[in-house]
Structure formats: C-alpha cells, structure tokens
Amino acid sequence: MDLQAIVDEALDYADHYRGHGALASYIPALAKVDPNKLAIALVTGDGESYAAGDADELFSVQSISKVFTLSLALNQVSAGLWNHVGREPSGSPFNSIVQLEAEKGKPRNPLINAGAIVVCDQLIGSRDADAALDEILAFLRQRCGDRDIGIDMDVALSESRAGNLNRSLAYFVNAFGNLSNPVEEVLSVYFRQCAVAMSCRQLARAALYLAYDGVDPLTGEAVVTPSRARRINALMLTCGHYDNSGDFAFRIGLPGKSGVGGGVLAIVPGTGVMVVWSPGLNAAGTSLAGAVALERLVELTGWSIFV
Amino acid sequence: MDLQAIVDEALDYADHYRGHGALASYIPALAKVDPNKLAIALVTGDGESYAAGDADELFSVQSISKVFTLSLALNQVSAGLWNHVGREPSGSPFNSIVQLEAEKGKPRNPLINAGAIVVCDQLIGSRDADAALDEILAFLRQRCGDRDIGIDMDVALSESRAGNLNRSLAYFVNAFGNLSNPVEEVLSVYFRQCAVAMSCRQLARAALYLAYDGVDPLTGEAVVTPSRARRINALMLTCGHYDNSGDFAFRIGLPGKSGVGGGVLAIVPGTGVMVVWSPGLNAAGTSLAGAVALERLVELTGWSIFV
Amino acid sequence: MDLQAIVDEALDYADHYRGHGALASYIPALAKVDPNKLAIALVTGDGESYAAGDADELFSVQSISKVFTLSLALNQVSAGLWNHVGREPSGSPFNSIVQLEAEKGKPRNPLINAGAIVVCDQLIGSRDADAALDEILAFLRQRCGDRDIGIDMDVALSESRAGNLNRSLAYFVNAFGNLSNPVEEVLSVYFRQCAVAMSCRQLARAALYLAYDGVDPLTGEAVVTPSRARRINALMLTCGHYDNSGDFAFRIGLPGKSGVGGGVLAIVPGTGVMVVWSPGLNAAGTSLAGAVALERLVELTGWSIFV
Amino acid sequence: MDLQAIVDEALDYADHYRGHGALASYIPALAKVDPNKLAIALVTGDGESYAAGDADELFSVQSISKVFTLSLALNQVSAGLWNHVGREPSGSPFNSIVQLEAEKGKPRNPLINAGAIVVCDQLIGSRDADAALDEILAFLRQRCGDRDIGIDMDVALSESRAGNLNRSLAYFVNAFGNLSNPVEEVLSVYFRQCAVAMSCRQLARAALYLAYDGVDPLTGEAVVTPSRARRINALMLTCGHYDNSGDFAFRIGLPGKSGVGGGVLAIVPGTGVMVVWSPGLNAAGTSLAGAVALERLVELTGWSIFV
C-alpha cells in the first residue's frame, strides 16, 4: 500500500468537512483555535511517518492524555487501580455525574472525566501534583524523543477557570472517599495534562507502544506489559468516545481516543498509529472532519481489528 | 499450536468452576438443566474442530441467537435498521427499560432484549412470524449443514410464560411507534429464536462467517458483506455482554455474545470461532465457568484483537 | 360569601384561556371533544351547589377516577395496600417507567398510572374484572344519587387501543409479582374506570365525603374512615398532579386530582368540593383553563389548607 | 384540650424510641450529641407554650433553617427566586445530584440541599456572605426575642470539613450559571445557617408566623405576605422531608421540616407550631423518636390540614 497516497486521499476527502462542527466553547482558550485546521499523521512500527495537512502543528491533546496517564498509573499501582475505577462503558456523556451516585463514587471507566480524575489521584499517590505531572511530561518526551513537549498554560488556566463541572465530579468522588489527595491538587494534574500541546505526528509516535503489545518498536523498551497494552486498547474501544464509543467501534473498528481539542488517536495493532486533528466537534465531542478522515483511512487501508 | 491440547487444558482449568454460579431461574425450563455441564468447541477456518467436554450436547442458545437474527435483518432491511435501534453500549442490564424512556422507544443496541425485539420485528417485515422464524432456522441449518437444528418448544413456552419483562419492553417500544407488527407476533419470534437448541460445535461452525469478513470459509458463500461482518463484531465487542461488556473486552479481548443458557460465543477474526458452555451464570448473566474457560483459552493461544 | 358570584367571576376570568392548551391526542376519542368547553361546579356540605358554564355536561373523568378506586380498595384490603404501592411523590410524568425498575415493580403512589393499575388489581382481588367495575359504578351512582352514571365505551375502547404504555407498565409490575390477576383483566378495569362519564356537578357531589373526614355530609354515611379520608387528601396534595403536584400545591393550596379529560377536582376540607373542566391541557396534563379557574376561585374565597 | 397533658403523653409515648435510629455520623460534630435527648415544644398563637423533655436545650437546627432562609430570600428577590429553583418534590434523597443533570442545574425545590444552596446565593445577592448570615441571625433573634441565638462554630466547621457532597452540588449548580457568588462564599452561609443552635421552644416560637398567614401573632408584624406563608407551607408539605415527604404528609398531615440534627418542625395553621427533637434518625434522615412523638401529637389533638 502507498500509505502516503492514502493519507493524502483521506485528507482530500475530509477537506469538505473542514470547519464544520463546533469548537469546544466551554473552554475559552480552545474556542480561539482556527477551526479550519485539518491534519493526519500515520506512524508505523518501522519508524516511518506519513502526514498530510497541519500534522506538525501543536494542538491541545485534551482527553487523549487520559490514555498515557492510565498507562503510567497502571505501571504504578497495578491492578489495585480497578478498586477505584471500573472498566465498563458508561452509556453517558463524558461529564455525566448520574452514574457516580448510583455507583457510590466509583467512576465507570478511566476514560470519562471522573475516571481520569481518579487515575490522576492514583498517579500522584503520596507524591505531590507537580511530581506526577513531571512524570507525565517526561514520559511523553521520551516516547517522542522531543524535550520540547510541554503544557499550554493559557489552556490549563482557562480549563481550571471553566472547571466547575470537573470540580463537582471531583468533590463527588471525594465524598465517597475515592480520592487520597486534595481535590485541587488532583485537578491541577488533570487540567494540566489536558493542556499538553502536541502535534499529530508526535501523538502517533508516542502511542506506538500500544500497537505493539506494550513495547516501543523503535526503542525496544517495554513501556507496559503486553496484557496491559491489550487492555488499554480494549478500554479505548469500549469507552474511548463516551456515549459515541459504540458508533466509533462500528464505523472505524479501531481502538481510539478523542479529545475536545479536535484530536483523535487510533491504534492499528501490529501496524502503527494514526492521529487526525480538526477542531470542529460533533455532538458527542469528537472531531467531525477528523472522524470523516479516519473513516476514509480505514476504508482505504482495510485496517480493522474485526477482520 | 496444538489446539486440541489447549482446548483440553482450558477445560481442565475451568473444571474447578463447574457447577458454580446460578441457573437462569426466571425461565423454569432452563432451571432444570444439569448445572455440571461444561464444554468447549473451537472450529477453525479450515474446517477443523477441537472439542472438550459436552461439546456435542444441545443447549438453549438464548441471546446468542441475536447475532444471527441481526445478520439476517441487516441483509433484509440494510442500514434502515439503524433508524429503529442504536449501536451504543447501554451501560445497563440486559432487560433494563430505563434508557428506552429517555430515548423514546429506540433501544440502545440490537444485542439487548429491547433491541433484539425490534430486530425481530424488522426481520418479520410484512411476512408473518412463522416465515421469519423459518428463515432463522434455515439459516442456522445451512451454516451447520445440519437439518436437525430446531427449537426446544418447552423452553420457548416457558420463556413466553415467564416473559412479562420482555412483554413490557415490547409494549413500551410499540408505544413509541417502533414496532410494525403486533407485540405477540414479534415476541413469538423472539421467544422461539432464544429457544433454538444447538451444541457448542454447531454454534462455532455456524458463526464462522463472522471470523472471515462475512464469507463462510468452508462453503465460500458470502453470508454478509465484509463491512457488516466487521460491524457485527464491533457490536459484539461493545455490547455483547450487557453491563459486563467492558469487562469481557478487557479480559477476553474478542468479540463475543453470551446467552443465559450458559453458552458464550467468541470470534477470533481470521482464525475461527470458540464456543463454551456451562449453565451456571455470574451476576451479569454470563456463564461463570464458561468465562473462565474462555479467559484461559485466550491466555494459552495469545488470541486477541488488540494485538 | 356570595359563592355563585364567585363561581361566575372565576369562569369569566378563565374564559380568556378557553380553548388554550392541547387535547389529549394520544387517546383518539378524547381528541374529538370540543376544546371550548369550560365549566365550574362547587358543592358545599349543606348540599348547595353553585355552577357556571357547562357544569352538567358529561366528560371523561380519566385519572380523577383513581381517587374513588383508591377509596374502595382501601376499604377492601386496608393497609395491606401499601405493600403493593408506595405513597411518595414520583417527581416524574404520569406514565414514567423509570422508577419502577429501581423500585422493583412497586409504583411510587396510587395516583400515577402504574400505581392505579396496582390499585385496580387489589380491588379486583379474587373477583373478576366486571365485579370490580360494577362496584366502582355502584359507588359513584350512590354518591351522586344518579343511576345513570356509566362508561363511555367509545372512550374505553380508544383507551385500550392506544394503551401500549399502560400495558408496558402493567407487564412490568407483573414481572415483579405485583399483580394477582392477568394483565388484560386488570387493564379492563383500569381503562373502563378512566372512561366513566360524569359532569362537574356530579364529580363534586361524589367527592364530598373527602371534605368531611370520610362521612358523606348529605347522607351521613361513613364512606371511609376519618384517617383514610385525610390520607387520601394528603396523597392528592403530594401526588395528585404527577410532576406538577408541587406547583399545584404551591398555587392552589388544596388537595386535588386532575384527569387528561380536562377535569380537575379540588377538596376544601370542612367546606365542600370544587370541580372545573376544560379539555385543553398544559404540558403536565392538567387542564389549562381549569387550573386558571381554580386559582381564581382560591383567590376569591381565600380557601387553602395552609392557613 | 389540655395541651400540656397531650404534650406529656406524646413524650411518654415516644420515650420507647428514645435512642433508636442513627446519629448523623457524616458530620462528626453531630455524632457527639447525646442520642437519648427527647423533647417537645408547642407554642400557640396566644403566646402560650407547652413543653416536655429537653425543650429548652439547644441543638443544631440543620435543614430546618432552610425554611427561614427561604422566607428571607422570598422577601428579598420575590418571585424571581423561582427562576433559580423549582417547587416540585424531587422523589430523591436530600443530597441527590441526579436530577440536577437532567434539569440543567436548577434544583427541584428550595428544601433539598442543592436548592437551599441556591437560596443562600440569592439571599447574599450583591452583599457578602457575612451580611447574609447576619440577616438570618437577626431574623431568628427578633422572632424569638432572644439576642443569644447563635451559631455553633464547631458544628459549622465540622460541616464544612465533611462538606464534599455539598461542594459537589454547588459546583454543579455553578457550572450551569445558577450561582452569582463564589461557591465557598455561598457555602459559608449554607454551612453556618445549618449550624444555628436553637431549642425546641425557640424554633416553635420563631416559626409562628407560618401558622398565621405570615403575621407574627405575638407582635403583629407582617413577616411575609399571606400568599408567601401559604406557599412556604405548601413547599414544606410536598418537599420538607426529601424522599419521605409523601409518607410524612400521609402520617402527620401537617407542613413540616426535618433536620439531621434531629429536630422536626410542624406547622398547625391557625393554631400554632410544634417542634420535636431527638437525635436518632430514620433511613430518610428524619428523627425517629421525633416522628413518633409528632404522630402521637396529631392523633391526640386531631390536628391536620386535611380535615
């Protein structure tokens, strides 16, 4: 397959949807992003990368960061993590609080906001917030071999200012004894991890270990155990897009994670990682043009975990 | 891999759980089944089959039938089906009515009871119930090359007598105009398809097309389009085990479907189909010893769609 | 107070809202009623009655019948009734099924549909449906001294045909073992009691015992015990108007019950009973012009149980 | 009626339940209260008071304060208050967050926690928290003619420390733009109003205006308009005891408000106010022995708004 030609064709195809959808207006700093951005990057296990559009431009990774933090937290607290957070799809929007009440403060899975807040708390452990955040950044930099990866503090601040719903979720979880660190300490990790700025190409490179059973194919480093890599992929497939996860699995057929910054990550086990970016979102908070591009990529490559 | 040895070892391993769990007591005819039954069958694309335990004994397929009926309904009404039923995990038990109210009578997905009732209605179309049921039976017989596959009418009757909750779901869906045939007509298909009696080996054989992009690898027949086969697999992965789907994907890592008769189907794309059977169920209505056997099979073979 | 003048003034006042609101279109026979009807009747404990508008025209009492059936069922099965139905406001629409699932088939209160269905079942007891219905009719005829009170069979039939949601509720309740008679038997009482045709004046006369601690002030007959009369009033106040009950208590301040036929009953303890009728309904299923008339009546008389 | 004899007899009757139920353990300072306390006070419109047990001992009024704050807020912002909070029973526990999501941050009524938080915010208005609290204290002192009424700061502090769930509710409401002051500012009023310490006799005296159409019968002062007094009573009847409100109306038949400090207020329109106190709570958070005492008082006096 001529992967570059395929990436180009997918970008062309998605170009009709450039600018469609709505920016994530509830975070003012995200609402300022140019809605016409559109990018695709594909990195394969041999280290090749294929890109189109604004694939080296930094954007706010938002919830895509949940996948990396989950990897680190699993390495740190192991299966004990599952005492604090479940692994079932929620059937609800990303910020819903309804199930938390019925399920006594244990979030459904680590990829919805409440669950990711609990994962941040576990990653902090007995350290302080900054130490946990440093670990996240060091991890991303090492995966990409790029020391410049950092946080967009304007976005982090905007996120915290607009963070009433996430604060509500965190206090709710805390009311059931499911946080071991103070709410604001935990949220300071959560908001800043969401505000990490990376490009499509960097994100695809960083997630490569998830396509290779936990081993970074370029460095040979065992990032997570094979079992954890598979399970993180399983969680992405069932829970990676909130109440749109089923439809994503149905249409794209690959484990993935979307962020309200407009990025979407998709893992192709044994082959590589694709990342698309376009800031306009559909009703479920997934990049509209990005999902179109991914669907086209899948059509052209025939990649799917279901065949 | 010595698949027969693996199947034997998985049966040995699960043997400790033989008889554990609870029979589906709300259907009296199912409560009479011998709780100590335990079986595994694996059928591969070359037509070989590997079996252990009571793998040729007939049992009630129950909800596993939903996968076949969905295949037939998609062939019949095509994408129009998705106007009547969604494709998101429900996050709720198999018989929950709660979401139906918020979502105005459109069931979350075709693998929960309400959704399967709607699929039956669509399969009936403008025919009568018996014609639809004949089609289901003819399909299963043809897939297995076995003309004796039939319905356990004791179970079907027991199911109907104990069917208040399913009646409630059907009338609820109907109240929103989402059934085109009378409730009892639709339920007569639904209850009878659940009461189809098949063995592990037959079920694995019948589902082989789902492991081969819709083509039966033994006959070459295109049963469903490649895209539909992938999408049925995606639905099984995200929704095949009700509010236990996420955990199943996490632990087993294969598209699957469980039935309260104690059978569990698992698709290994490109390789074959595994079916386990043991009547004792866990809290989510999945075979307890069966899930243990499947988990062991996956451990021993390394099969997973996430690597 | 010149009660006739007050009744006339309230009718004048509500006249501006004549024809506003929507007919109960989901029951075709009710959708044919003249939307411009408007009536008030007030019957006091000395037997005087004050009326304005179409106060002697028959209309479909619908859910107002629930109050009388509840009175009869309490006399028959006594406090045992509360094992089958609760007495809390539901905070939900009249036909909601959501709480039934969480509360395992025990309806919140006897004045929502599911609860009234359970009350009908209890009233039937070991008799048949017709015997229970005969008792309801005999009761209403005796209270009014009018042997002609009967059922509008067109409405009853229309109600049954459009009764999918109520069927769903009944099967749901039955699935939890909370019905002792067959669903259609119970519904045949439920649908027919809703289709009883009475005038405002008749309804006000019939309910007089609820304003006098259970004793019919005109005949001296003890219809229900004082404690039951108070408790039926309490239930009307907290639950008589579904998810509009709080607002009704807030604005009108009297125990009451509305029906989707456009009638509203209001009890004035120690004084009498008011009934208004106008077929156009507000969003919560209460007569729009009727509620306006009642609010004006309360303003002009100063009647309220809260002072 | 010999009211003193009745009060004594009710105390004797409830004495069997002294110490039953559970202290409000989630607020540590409340968990230290002597569980054997039991008290009744009845104050009538002529200024007489009848008491038994520890009727002059101070206790934490907790949610009973919501009634007074609501009175003040209605005087201050008038009907505009209802843009921020509803007036329907919630059918849910006092601290539930579920409905807030469906109803976009507008609490069901002012007597559940989320609603009372919104009422505090409205009472603060453009002032600061201390000014609002001073107004509440001045109001209570003036009603009782007792300048010593104050806040138990140990309880207030304990309440704030244990206040994660209330913080979650406040941030949730705030996320929908339904608070005009900072969350901690609003909560500082909320927690301190709950920690006001009063005796049964003081509380009964303070609430006397609600039994007399808004006019304090001893001073002649118009505290709230007649219409507001009636409406506050209506709200207490339909919503004063959370998901136990229907049962309270059914058994007691008087507008009332319970607090987790073990106090229960009951208004007898045109006659006076009863307050009972005993710290052990039933499952719904209402004083167990207190409710028994109230039920006996109602039995002996025949007082009810429903006759």
In a domain, B149, yes or no: yes
**Same-domain check for residues D230 and D258:** yes
pLDDT at A31 > cutoff 80: yes
* Number of structural domains found in chain B: 2
> The domain containing residue B131 runs over which residues?
64-194
Question: pLDDT-based confidence at B85, cuts 50/70/90?
Answer: very high
Which residue of C lies nearest to B95 if distances are taken between CA atoms?
C101
DSSP state string for C5-57: HHHHHHHHHHGGGTT-SB--TTSHHHHTS-TT--EEEEEETTS-EEEEESTTS
Query: What confidence tier does A102 reach under pLDDT thresholds 50, 70, 90?
Result: confident
3 state DSSP class of D303: coil
Residues of chain C with pLDDT under 70: 93-95
Domain-embedded: residue A152: yes
The first and second tokens of residue D64, run together, are: 């009973």
- Four-point Cα dihedral D155, D160, D162, D165, nearest 10: 130
Residues A174 and A98 both lie in one domain: yes
- B80/B154 same-domain check: yes
Q: How distant is the alpha carbon of residue A125 from its chain centre?
A: 22
Asked if A197 contacts A61 with a C-beta cutoff of 8 angstroms, the reply is yes
User: What would the two tokens of residue B125 be?
Assistant: 């179309």
Strand partners, B258: B264
Is residue C142 domain-resident? yes
Out of C96, C101, C164, name the one closest to residue B171 (CB).
C164
Q: How confident is the model at residue B24 (pLDDT cuts 50, 70, 90)?
A: confident
Asked if C168 lies within 8 A of B172 by C-beta distance, the reply is yes
The predicted pLDDT at position B25 comes to 83
Nearest residue of B to residue A232, measured between CA atoms:
B250
User: Which residues touch C25 (CB under 8 Å, ≥6 apart)?
Assistant: C31
Q: Which of residues 68-107 of D touch C (CB under 8 A)?
A: 86-92, 99
B229 touches chain A (CB under 8 A): yes
CB contact under 8 A, A101 and D101: no
Distance from CA of C119 to the nearest CA of D (A): 17
Is A180 in the same domain as A204? Answer: no
Torsion angles phi and psi, residue D295, rounded to 5: -60, -40
Banded model confidence at residue B157, pLDDT cuts 50, 70, 90: very high
C165 and B CB contact within 8 Å: yes
Contact between A15 and A38 under an 8 Å Cβ cutoff? The reply is yes
Of B194, B221, B246, which residue is a domain's last?
A: B194
* CA-closest candidate to residue D254, choices D298, D299, D290: D298
Give Cα C57 distance to the centre of its chain. 17
pLDDT average, residue stretch D181-189: 98
Region D36-44: mean pLDDT is 98
* Per-residue pLDDT at A98: 77
Cβ atoms A303, A295 nearer than 8 A: no
Shared domain check, B261 and B181: no
**Average pLDDT in the D47-71 region?**
98
pLDDT recorded at residue C158: 94
Quick check: is A307 in a domain? no
Residue B4 has pLDDT above 80, yes or no: yes
A224 domain residue, yes or no: yes
* Cβ neighbourhood burial of B299 (10 Å; 0-12, 13-18, 19+): middle
pLDDT score of D94: 65
Average pLDDT over residues A80-93: 88
- Domain membership flag for residue B273: yes
Q: Do both B164 and B250 map to the same domain?
A: no
Q: C49 and C91: one domain?
A: no
| pLDDT given at position A95 | 67
Q: Taking the model in full, what pTM does it have?
A: 0.94
- Give the minimum alpha-carbon distance from C96 to chain B in angstroms, rounded to a whole number: 7
Residue of A nearest to D175 (CA): A164
A306 located within any domain: no
Of B291-295, C254-258, C283-287, D180-184, the range with the lowest mean pLDDT is C283-287
A133 and A183: one domain? yes
Residues B112 and B55 in one domain: no
Q: What integer is the mean pLDDT of B135-161?
A: 96
Last residue in a domain, options D143, D166, D194 = D194
B166 with B79, same domain: the answer is yes
* D75's tokens: 């005087």
Which tokens sit at A194?
């969401």
Give chains near D: 3+ CB pairs under 8 A: A, C
Residues C160 and C219 occupy one common structural domain: no
Measured at the alpha carbon of residue D123, what is the angle toward residues D122 and D129, in degrees to the nearest 5? 110
- CATH assignment of the domain containing C85: 3.40.710.10
Please check whether residue D156 lies inside any domain of the structure: yes
Same domain, B116 and B205: no
Residue C64: per-residue pLDDT: 98
Instruction: Round the average pLDDT of chain B to a whole number and report it.
Output: 95
Q: Which of D148, D171, D194 is the last residue of a domain?
A: D194
For position C36, what pLDDT does the model report?
97
For position D95, what pLDDT does the model report? 67
Under 8 Å CB-to-CB from C44, ≥6 apart: which residues?
C3, C50, C271, C272
